Amino acid sequence: MVNTSELKREVAKITWWHRIDLGHGVVTPGVDDTPEKLKTLGFPDDLSGMTVLDIGDWDGFFSFEAERRGAKRVLAIDSCYRDGESWQTNSGFDLAHRVLDSKVEHREMDVLDVSPEKIGQFDFVLFLGVLYHMRHPLLALEKVFSVTGKQLILETHADMLLHNRPAMAFYPEKELENDPTNWCGPNAAAVEAMLKSVGFRKVEVVSGKSLLFRLGRAVKWRIQHGKPFMDTVQRDRLVFHAWR
């Protein structure tokens, strides 16, 4: 029997990134509107009998969602939040895992360390919000390909979207959101080319805003927040599906 008052107190002690419905009327107050992001991913409704790898799981929303949709095994891995600073702890995942009575496996591991020898291959791989944090994005995608048995869903920040040829912005310091862990902003053509170069035979862009939408957003953000107009026009979040 869950004590709702105690659960709310435990939730309040944690700084959350994901918004996870823990049941009992309790939803974690994540910075990221994760349920809305889920709608953009083209996430299969039924994962029955499939194995799923969630690379960069954070609080575990997508790992738990894959389990809820019937996956027979889910492995969640991350490495960026084990230093105990700010929200960068494993406490959110641990609490959600316990309350949801989840069987999701968890391992501390960097994407550059994954390999079939270490963790096997998975039918379905999630690589969400990680690519642009990579100093070596192509190498990261080579590692991701090696453990993808069937399909990959990749979501990332993108930049230079006015360029049709493969191109990538480089952020050597804090140029993107004042965050030193943001390293690159590939455009859609670059992501597709990188995915194919590492071995994926088919790649599709399944979610992204139109140029007209980005123009309107750029005007709004320039007026309201003083954001540079061209930066806003060229940037978006994109979702790709890739098949081995």
Mean pLDDT of successive 10-residue stretches along the chain, which has 244 residues: 89 94 95 94 96 96 98 92 56 95 96 97 97 97 98 98 96 92 96 98 95 93 92 95 97
Q: DSSP secondary-structure letter at 88?
A: B
Nearest Cα residue to 175 out of 225, 233, 132? 132
The dihedral sign for the CA sequence 48, 34, 59, 55? positive
Look at residue 87 in the predicted model and tell me its pLDDT.
Answer: 52
Nearest Cα residue to 41 out of 148, 126, 104, 131? 126
Look at residue 2 in the predicted model and tell me its pLDDT.
Answer: 76
Nearest Cα residue to 88 out of 17, 30, 153? 17
Look at residue 37 in the predicted model and tell me its pLDDT.
Answer: 94
